[in-house]
Amino acid sequence: MGSTNQDEARADRAARNEAVFRRVNERLEELNEGFQLVTDNAEFVCECAQIDCAERMHLTLAKYEAVRSVPTHFIVKPDHVLPDEERVVERHDEFIVVEKFGHAGERARQLDPRGG
């Protein structure tokens, strides 16, 4: 039983960290929309659970919006996947789209700034 509580606590911390990066990317998306006439390719930060991660990746605004349309989907660098809490749904050269499941998925929906 203790292990489950520890797992949920770890998942909660990870979800809060990911929510921080998601909010950063929401702001980056807003800023990049102003430059959309110049370029559709924008820079975003990795939305992984590592609070000290500052890795960046490039994708189109349309692609980011497609990922964000699902509250449990996140963009992460290829080596930042947490297989116990997320599954890969798309692979790209510079980033991977993961889907949170279980408790982590529920927390992702709850913390979605768009209201999940």
> Does residue 57 belong to any structural domain of this protein?
yes
pLDDT of residue 71: 93
Non-local (6+) Cβ contacts of 48 within 8 A are 17, 18, 21, 74, 76, 77, 80, 82
Per residue in 67-114, pLDDT (tens digit) is 999 999 999 999 999 998 899 999 999 999 999 998 888 888 888 877
* Strand-pair partners of 45: 56
- Give the chain's radius of gyration (CA, Å): 14
> Does residue 116 belong to any structural domain of this protein?
no
Non-local (6+) Cβ contacts of 39 within 8 A are none
Total count of domains within the chain: 1
* pTM, two decimal places: 0.73
Per residue in 17-68, pLDDT (tens digit) is 777 777 777 777 766 666 555 566 788 999 998 888 889 999 988 898 899 9
